[in-house]
Amino acid sequence: MINDKIFVCLPDFSGGGAEKVMMSLIKALSPDYQVTCVALSDNGPLYARLPQNCEFLNVNRASARQSILPLSQIFRTRKPDVVITTMAYFNFIIMFALLLSGHRPRRVILREANTPASTLKALGVRWLGVCLYRFLYNRASAVICNSEQVQGELADAGVKRESIKIIPNPVDGDALSHLAKKKITLPEFGDAALPLFVSVGRLTKQKGMERLIKWVAAMRINANLIIIGSGEQRENLLSIIRRDRLEQRVKLIDFQDNPFPYMAAANAVVLGSHWEGLPNVGLEALALGKTVIATGECGGLVGMKLRYMIDDLIIAETGDQFIAEMDQIAKNHAPSKARRDHDMQAYNPKIAASSLPAEFDIETVINQYKTTIFGL
């Protein structure tokens, strides 16, 4: 197995949770295996994280559909022993390319990063999506998902339940605690002493940033909000902020390779997503000892709350409940110079780590991936 040629495939190097999980896997496998990263482009901040001993193949195509032929040529000529890929639409593309290539790797691992229900809805024709899941996913050696909700939806879409493995997203608590201590300067708010909420994620419809702004504006107690991320909804969000005259209380910050100091400075980390598998940001916030408020559509976090009864994890089923939970946190807020100056000396990673179950530890998760990848 040491000589196995392992291809890890991803669309690009954007800073989303799915891409981060794959980069963690590449980093863990590269010292001991022949790992090649295959991507449609080298766009995105995570490209800089590729290990030097990991080969990179740039398909250099603008869209996933245009990549099927060149991907099939790569598989035909390079003949990987193991292929690992992530995200439904890209999983479909990789499986089509493998079929076209005629090459049959010993192991093909598909990782489902989001809820199949959202994929089926995006396709517009449910029967077509179900056919794709049944025809393509059932040809894989294993399908990895990150929550029981996603597992159930995959099974409902026709994927054989015995091939579905639940492996949570990895969290490196030691690395987070180190990164969170970096000194930062918070944006200039009208009143820096107000309670602070932080949200991190792509500026897309899925992440629900628009309704987070609406909910903060509707709070009984004034509070500040920082949204960290990049995406196609940026201008729309800025327009909403200007329209509702929230420039002094809501700030947008571009994608940050290290958002953890901002999260550590917050009274709570908020997730307004319309759908999720298991959002990394929520796990990372819990690992930092922060309170997390998430919508009921954040499936994996809902499952965690039911299973572990984590006090710092609050699930809000409605917008009104979300606002009420933020108001409660704001009510208990005591303005402090330490928070405003981002003094992390009081941060205790041992206490923070207790907010996140041990099964999310990066070493535990990577070992589960290795077991699934090599069929042990």
| pLDDT tens figures, 278-291 | 999 999 999 999 99
**What's residue 299's pLDDT?**
87
**What's residue 1's pLDDT?**
59
Location of structure tokens 């307004």: 272
Instruction: Examine the domain organization and report whether 110 and 24 are in the same domain.
Output: yes
- The b/e string for 187-203 (b: 16+ C-beta within 10 A; e otherwise) is eebeeeebbbbbbbbbb
The region of weakest confidence among 61-65, 215-219, 298-302 is 61-65
Instruction: Examine the domain organization and report whether 33 and 124 are in the same domain.
Output: yes
- Is 349's pLDDT higher than 60? no
Beta pairing partners, 314: 293
- Is 106's pLDDT higher than 80? yes
Average of per-residue pLDDT values in the chain: 92
Domain count, the chain: 2
The region of weakest confidence among 111-115, 121-125, 173-177, 372-376 is 121-125
Q: Range of 207's domain?
A: 173-359
Instruction: Examine the domain organization and report whether 65 and 177 are in the same domain.
Output: no
Binning pLDDT at 50, 70 and 90, where does residue 338 land? very low
Instruction: Examine the domain organization and report whether 27 and 165 are in the same domain.
Output: yes
**d(C-alpha 82, C-alpha 236), whole Å:** 42
Listed in sequence order, the residues at least 6 apart from 366 whose beta carbon sits closer than 8 Å to its beta carbon are: 24, 25, 28, 170
Instruction: Examine the domain organization and report whether 61 and 45 are in the same domain.
Output: yes
Instruction: Examine the domain organization and report whether 181 and 234 are in the same domain.
Output: yes
Taking residues 211-226, what's their average pLDDT?
A: 98
Instruction: Examine the domain organization and report whether 184 and 304 are in the same domain.
Output: yes
Instruction: Examine the domain organization and report whether 145 and 163 are in the same domain.
Output: yes
Taking residues 206-214, what's their average pLDDT?
A: 97
CATH number of the domain encompassing residue 250: 3.40.50.2000
Instruction: Examine the domain organization and report whether 366 and 313 are in the same domain.
Output: no
Instruction: Examine the domain organization and report whether 157 and 178 are in the same domain.
Output: no
Q: What angle do CA 217, 347, 221 make, to 5 degrees?
A: 20
Q: Are strands 224-228 and 196-200 parallel, antiparallel or unpaired?
A: parallel
- Is 340's pLDDT higher than 90? no
Instruction: Examine the domain organization and report whether 203 and 330 are in the same domain.
Output: yes
Instruction: Examine the domain organization and report whether 248 and 146 are in the same domain.
Output: no
Taking residues 323-349, what's their average pLDDT?
A: 67
Max intra-chain CA distance, the chain: 64
